[in-house]
Amino acid sequence: MKADTTSSWIAACDEVRHALEEYGCFVAVYDKVCLELNDAIIGGMEALFSLPLETKSKNISKMPCFRVRRNGEEDGIPKLRRGEVRFRNWIIHLLLKLMKYKAPTEGESNIGSMAWKCKQRMEWMGLEPRPSSFVVMAGNAFMVFHCFNGRIPSPNHRVLMSGDQARYSLALFSFNDGVIQVPEEVVDDEHPLKFKPFDGFGYFRFCMAHVGKRKFEHLIEEICGV
């Protein structure tokens, strides 16, 4: 997806909706991400992952299974602290995760992450992301959130490694710390309710407590399905 002008924005939004309903994800391209910024981020991540385990383990987070640090008052964005309160409250509910996939050794699997399938065709779809591209995927809670009522799937995805170099990636997660439910106005005889209301972080904690014990592909239906 790429929207260069205001006139193309409506068409781009329609592409996004179609892609989410069909695949549960889309790719956004932003060509203004310069190579210097990309190199600086990769260099910073290499330095971060090279820190001793003792140093990295000092990171703290109230979110289960994540080790991050919130800088509080010294967050480096005083203008947001003074004026853009709504925006600041919004970004607090986002989590930036830095990921490193090690190059596979001989005899080791080349899958660096969990599984990306097209739900309708049940086949893997290849993607070679550009430095200026951003892959946006719908999470399980997004299937219930707002007016979708199951129309948007949460895609399985995986990372395949090759060569002898590590791969670095940034992932931005968004969370809802309240009750998630389907609005009554989108439910009728032709579109019956598919999910019961549930607590967003409660569901997330349940998933993290069962990593390796249960398959997550249909977990949202098992827990919240009507």
Does a structural domain hold residue 10?
no
pLDDT the model gives residue 94: 73
So what's the pLDDT on residue 93?
A: 64
Q: Above 80 in pLDDT, residue 16?
A: yes
Residue 28 lies in a domain: no
Read off the pLDDT band of 72 (50, 70, 90): very low
Assigned domain for 16 exists:
no
The tokens for 166 are 């590590």
| Within-domain flag for 43 | yes
Choice between 196 and 68, residue whose per-residue pLDDT is larger? 196
Containing 27, the helix (H) or strand (E) segment is: strand 25-29
Of 26-30, 112-116, 141-145, 205-209, the range with the lowest mean pLDDT is 112-116
Number of domains in the chain: 1
Which residues have CB under 8 Å from 126's CB, separation 6+? none
Is there a domain that residue 161 lies in? yes
Is residue 60 assigned to a domain? yes
DSSP codes, 75-139: SS-HHHHHT-HHHHHHHHTEEEEEEEEPPPPTTS-SB-S---EETTTTEE------TTEEEEE--
Residue 194 included in any domain: yes
Q: Which domain holds residue 214?
A: 36-117+135-224
Residue 140 lies in a domain: yes
Q: Residue 164: is its pLDDT beyond 50?
A: yes
pLDDT band at 73 (very low <50, low <70, confident <90, very high): very low
Give tens-digit pLDDT for 122-132: 677 777 777 77
Q: Look at residues 182, 184, 161 and name the one whose alpha carbon lies nearest to residue 110.
A: 161
Q: Would the pTM count as exceeding 0.85?
A: no
From CA 19, how far away is CA 120, in angstroms rounded?
12
d(CA 27, CA 25): 7
